Structure 1
């Protein structure tokens, strides 16, 4: 395992360095904003003891909101990307700063404050020369803890398509790659320990009064500088889009590969660059609003999913309805479908082979007879889809012993570990070839065809018409067995999605050696 980790880091060092840089920018933008806002609120409420409790309670309530719930709430307001991640991290970082500032100032001996005023000091002088320096140990200790916490928590940024080391962890979970998970986790821990050590050393220097002047006359300048740095940092994390096509992908192995294939075609066939944001949490539900807003230019999607999730159609999708689907996309969202890859990735159900053999289960209808003895697992959004669990259960009269929500990347391992007995699978999953799982036949034909293609903003095609020819190259490029093979190379052989995409395109003669 150690050799694999070193090999991965050495072969993809630029990838991890870029993630580390993004993690630092996201984290410290949130930290700086939280320090400035938290100090301001803490100083304000220290002068208003009657309302201090209310302020701390409000900030405390926000602190208790689960991170995933907070991100889900923010996405419709601030969209996908770093802005949402930074806002969430700032909210979580506020409470310790507000509380420590308030406690540090209010616990100062009142006689010291009175003496300062008696000597003719103004309130601002008392604040910057007496209160803040005396409260500094409490405030600084809280800042140190908050920074470490924020570095660790910044891993959630990948859920909303932001950068950072969480991308490696989330990609590792999705593609069943322990090496990525370990590297991402190690680098986050290393960053946290390094920053904590630096802040600890800085605190000792300040406490020894070697930087006493900074704690007095230049305190105001320092606070103003923090605000300026925060504003500049908020600009730094924005990705340039002048000559770059923004591509998004869902948090699936297949989504990663398809996005990489299209990205390579764009870079090889045009003068444009392609910036790929992998693994947007929530899939279609979050990517679609983002592409309508203009945060992304294109992403791999499936016709049946769009029919159900985006257009909210209740009738089953068939290939004959593609023209209607595309017409609605153009009319409602100014989006179009390009580059129809040629394969159908529909849902099915997989069951552990030992159970399939024991009960002679080959079809969905066979499964219904014994469902009460089995635990069913599926990705989170499957239980909310129009064509998801409830509709499937009604069609086949499934009544499972228990249902379990889990990340798509963890389903197979949960099945092999006997944590679940039955699960949803996609017909192009790389792991369905594993002999420990049996894919059942949808004997009632419940699931429609989910043809894969690229959803593209019409505006970007008008701006860069050369993209039309590039996207046409992917028409009919991949069939079901080929897609399953590509997925297998990532999930089982542990290859990088980008390398798999390049290798495939070279074999097809679409990418130069």
Structure 2
């Protein structure tokens, strides 16, 4: 293991170790593959991240790298702690999340590229960097049933005030925080709204059954392709721009060589919104495993 990585791993704080206790076996050991250390890839705890993590692992393995994948690491703050403490070496993150959640930047950039550049500049100050972003964005959005939108004349998030009392489904990790329910209702003045905590994916059934009137969803959710839900326009730009880019330690890129980054860039360049929505559908609806879906996609695009 190189000196920079050895020092970085040695500096992992006690707090990070406590927070990451569930990550049994985390951390990269030296590999015999070309004398390069094993690269540990992290992923958050939802479908899209599992698929992208599998793509990174499978394509890099095919390219001759020794890699390990750690799924379900947790929220943005937890996975960022895993990265900065050296428990993982890279993970895919959303550009706006970096600015709004990690950098705590209250100013929302006016373009996706500006969001990426500012997110990258923030990471560069921490000894990290970012590879090129994906064409697709996965933004949070507010969804309602079409009949509810028509009844109350809803087109924007702010229009929810027209509907009177609104029950709002939000996943537990996003009730508070920069992109969470609490800040959303403040931004739009939604004073007659009550939150209901539901795990990711359950909000659609809640909408269908009338248990809630509005819900936080992701724009790449496969359920949205059916046309059974109306997305309200985020006219105040609360959710920002959310392309995905790998966040990685600079010394990892130096150790692994230019082909390492080039492999990840090839994958990310293929990830359009339509492609990702179908990939998510293959896991959530067709019930294939993320590993199967990733493999089929990489094979179809000549990466395996």
- Are 1:343 and 1:476, in contact at CA under 8 Å, matched by a contact in 2? no
- Superposed CA RMSD: 2.3
Q: Deviations over 1:343-401 (max 9, x none)?
A: 1111211113342243342332332211x322101122322222332332233221244
CA offset at residue 79 of structure 1? 4.6
Equivalent residue for 1:489, pick from 257, 282, 298:
282
The aligned runs of 1:47-446 (5 Å cut-off) are: 76-79=15-18, 81=20, 84=21, 160-162=22-24, 241-243=29-31, 244-270=38-64, 272-281=65-74, 283-317=75-109, 318=111, 319-331=113-125, 333-370=126-163, 372-446=164-238
Q: Distance in 2 between matches of 1:417 and 1:76?
A: 42
- Are 2:46 and 2:72, in contact at CA under 8 Å, matched by a contact in 1? yes
CA offset at residue 434 of structure 1? 3.6
CA offset at residue 422 of structure 1? 0.8
Tell me the secondary structure at the aligned position of residue 312 of structure 1.
coil
Q: Distance in 1 between matches of 2:117 and 2:27?
A: 35
Tell me the secondary structure at the aligned position of residue 269 of structure 2.
coil
- 1:501 aligns with 294
Tell me the secondary structure at the aligned position of residue 456 of structure 1.
strand
Q: Distance in 2 between matches of 1:338 and 1:79?
A: 29
Q: Distance in 2 between matches of 1:458 and 1:391?
A: 34
TM-score when scaled to structure 2? Answer: 0.84
- Are 2:96 and 2:119, in contact at CA under 8 Å, matched by a contact in 1? no
Q: Do residues 453 (structure 1) and 241 (structure 2) align?
A: no
Gaps of 5+ in 2: 1-12, 32-37
CA offset at residue 439 of structure 1? 1.8
Gaps of 5+ in 1: 1-73, 85-159, 163-236
- Are 1:75 and 1:286, in contact at CA under 8 Å, matched by a contact in 2? no
Aligned residues: 283
CA offset at residue 77 of structure 1? 4.5
Q: Deviations over 1:169-215 (max 9, x none)?
A: xxxxxxxxxxxxxxxxxxxxxxxxxxxxxxxxxxxxxxxxxxxxxxx
Q: Distance in 2 between matches of 1:373 and 1:327?
A: 42
- 2:3 aligns with none
Tell me the secondary structure at the aligned position of residue 248 of structure 2.
strand
- Are 1:79 and 1:290, in contact at CA under 8 Å, matched by a contact in 2? no
Q: Distance in 2 between matches of 1:447 and 1:238?
A: 32
- Are 2:41 and 2:53, in contact at CA under 8 Å, matched by a contact in 1? yes
User: Rg bigger for which structure?
Assistant: 1
Q: Distance in 2 between matches of 1:484 and 1:402?
A: 29
Q: Distance in 2 between matches of 1:80 and 1:242?
A: 24
Q: Distance in 2 between matches of 1:248 and 1:80?
A: 15
* Structure 1 range deviating more: 391-400 or 288-297: 391-400
CA offset at residue 75 of structure 1? 8.3
CA offset at residue 462 of structure 1? 1.8
CA 1:489–1:450 in structure 2 vs 1: closer, same or farther (change >3 Å)? same
More helix by share: 1
